[in-house]
A and B are shown apart, each in its own frame.
Chain A
Amino acid sequence: MDLAELNEVAESERSRQKPMRIRCCTAAGCVSSGSLAVKQALDRAIVERGLNDYVQACSVGCLRLCCAGPLVQVDPSQELFEEVKPDQAPTIVQSLLARSASDGVKRGNPAMPFFAKQQPIVLENSGIVEPERIESYIAAGGYRALQQAIREMSPAEVVDAVTKSGLRGRGGAGYPTGVKWSLVAKMPGAQKYVVCNADEGDPGAFMDRSVLESDPHRVLEGMAIAAYAVGATQGFVYVRGEYPLAIHRLQVAIKQANKLGLLGSGIFESPVNFRIDLRIGAGAFVCGEETALIASIEGKRGTPTARPPYPAEKGLWSCPTLINNVETFANIPPILNKGADWFASIGTAKSKGTKVFALAGKIRYTGLVEVPMGMPLRTIVEDLGGGAPDGGTIKAVQTGGPSGGCIPAPLLDTPVDYESLQAVGSIMGSGGMIVMDQTTNMVEVAKYFMEFCMDESCGKCVPCRAGTVQLHRLLTRIAAGDASQAEIKQLEVLCDMVKHTSLCGLGQSAPNPVLSTLRYFRQEYDQSIKKGRISLI
């Protein structure tokens, strides 16, 4: 495969495309609402009407507004159909020929803020390309960045571009990606690895899942560019076992890319070799931590080890290993295609680019949003998300899952970037954003997350293993109204201890939901105790 052949593939794919395309969302959310049957019904309806030459139905990735699925969108009109049932397929096909005002199919508004205020970079192909056809990705400009990197740039230039772009790790911690790449690139040794962390364990987060299901080639391309930049020949995608569709699409994508010579040996007819294998997780939250993930890929219990040495120095089988998150890799091809300066012009001074969030909970429009860094939280939940449903009021927004915190409504004007979220006691996290309304009890929320951390603690270090159990016990007592004021004090002391003495990120961040609810909703803890006192009298 060389550039001319790549262009040929793109050209023949474009000529194959019909003037009208009916794009049917087949990401997990819509599939569970029955979108596969809708796609089949659309195929039949097109044949029955004899429109094969003008219209085609395609299975695409996430169309984002998960709450209104199954979603169907039409090119070129961009008309959006919501909650589509298979028996409505003939009506949709008919509507392409003659517009009718009311035909019983629910229309969405592609111009509403939920869509209009998004700035898709990671998700630019999501809902447009067909995830199970590499030709579709190539026609959308795919693998161009890899070609450019391998044929026109030196590895050092690729690392420089990533550094200059200001991209930071999208897994949560926000470590500068370029710095990480240059560390691995500088390490001596013939054998290096590139690992994609797709162990999206935060409950309430489904960004990585959607990216993998909607545009798997984008992630593979990002990994291959990284491999070229750091000098790795073997890559692994560590993906959650709970995501069967993402696993399937990755398997298909790897096979297709190998076949076209875009992965494997002699990529783009150069001496560059890069092989990608899948590793399926088995339901352990701690494996999202990089050293635990490495242990798991090696076929061991997923327990973390002390850092340093960092994986960049001693990772998989003690070789230098680059580990990045799905979304981080997905940002790489556009950075090379459009330039580091373009990427650096988006976002804030310290947080560049966009961030994908999974918007869910007590909010009108749930689904996937990608917004520039620095957008106020209020814009995301009130404009894009449409606020709380059924006349409710937003009480808090939870970001960062069990490692993050609850941001109270008065602080909704906080801009979404790494530093600002940390300043208000939460974290960016991987991108789960759960909206809570007035009915949510914050002590119960803290207890919920602590129960999660207690169950998921790997048991290797004592502060986390025993501390989370004690914290959960205290929270249970407080929530039940059995506790005294002194126990709140005890809770605070213990939080501080677990936070500062645990071995890995799981334990170090486990107290965060408690600390942030104590900071902003202390009255609920006090009330809970008072209520218990009164019932005793």
Chain B
Amino acid sequence: MPGNHPSGDKRFKLLDAAMKKHQFRADALLEVLHTAQELFGFLQPDLLIYIARQLKLPPSRVYGVATFYHFFSFTPKGEHSCVVCLGTACYVKGAAALQNAVEKELDVKAGQTRSDGKASVSIARCVGACGLAPVAVFDGEVAGGLTAEAAVKRVKGWLEHGSG
């Protein structure tokens, strides 16, 4: 079973190791998908087919599971990412205004990536930092107690460097 991907991409070797750790068991599918997304950033169709073959599962099952969970992404992420938390605490403290301001500044709707690939905006159901609401995550770094102005300030620099 452990055969590397014909592309020779080293990341497949790491993915194989993860599957081997779970003895290529079908119930490890979620763990394997997590690892795949960590390695590749997002889940391409041929990656899903590769996983299906290795775990001896129908591709429909792998695709069905991957698309069921919000965590998995099927398009590449932008260079920078802003995740606005829309949990209840953030909501009552004005997260919608944050979201609007960031979307306007980066000129992209939540859940999408700019066509130039510079930035993506998404929303989270709750990042669990409710004590600091409203919260957004800028490139993996959580920032609390935000105002719309402060959020715009954080993302302002992202579109510079070269293409306007």
Contacts and interface: CB of A to CB of B under 8 A. Distances in A.
Interface of A: 28-29, 31-33, 66-67, 69, 200-206, 209, 240-243, 279-285, 296-302, 358-362, 366-368, 398, 401, 432, 434-436, 440, 445, 448-449, 452, 456, 458
Contacts of A33: 132, 144
Most chain-A Cβ atoms within 10 A of its Cβ — which of B27, B71, B88?
Answer: B88
A28 B68 contact: no
Contacts of A243: 128
Question: In the complex, which of the residues A200, A201, A360 has the most CB atoms of chain B within 10 Å of its own CB atom?
Answer: A360
Interface stretch (B3-11, B29-37, B113-121): B29-37
Nearest to B67: A301
A280 B34 contact: yes
20 contacts: A28-B128, A29-B129, A29-B131, A31-B142, A32-B129, A32-B143, A69-B131, A200-B128, A201-B125, A203-B88, A205-B130, A206-B126, A280-B30, A282-B71, A283-B125, A301-B68, A366-B131, A366-B132, A366-B133, A401-B88
Given A360-B131, A362-B93, A241 B88 contact: no
Contacts of A200: 128
Contacts of B157: none
B92 interface: yes
Contact of A279 (B30, B88, B93, B133): B30
Q: List the 9 closest A-B pairs by CB distance, nearest first.
A: A66-B131, A204-B88, A282-B69, A32-B142, A360-B89, A283-B70, A203-B87, A299-B29, A282-B71
B47 interface: no
Nearest to A243: B128
Residue of B28, B125, B133 with highest tally of chain A CB at under 10 A: B125
A279 B130 contact: no
Interface centre among B29, B72, B132, B135 (most CB of A within 10 A): B132
Contacts of A32: 129, 132, 135, 141-144
B92 A361 contact: yes
B69 A398 contact: no
A361 B124 contact: no
A203 B125 contact: yes
B132 A284 contact: no
Q: Which of B26, B128, B129 has the most CB of A within 10 A?
A: B128
Given A33-B144, A204-B130, A299-B65, A282 B92 contact: no
A361 B132 contact: no
Given A32-B143, A282-B34, A284-B69, A242 B127 contact: yes
A435 B93 CA distance: 10
Contacts of B126: 201-206, 242
B88 A299 contact: no
Most A C-beta atoms less than 10 A away, residue of B72, B93, B127: B127
Given A242-B127, A282-B30, A434 B92 contact: yes
Interface in B132-150: 132-133, 135, 141-144
A45 to B, nearest CB: 25
A28 B129 contact: yes
A296 B69 CA distance: 10
A298 B27 contact: yes
A434 B143 contact: no
A398 B72 contact: no
Contacts of B124: 242
B92 A440 contact: yes
B64 A301 contact: yes
Contact of B70 (A69, A282, A359, A440): A282
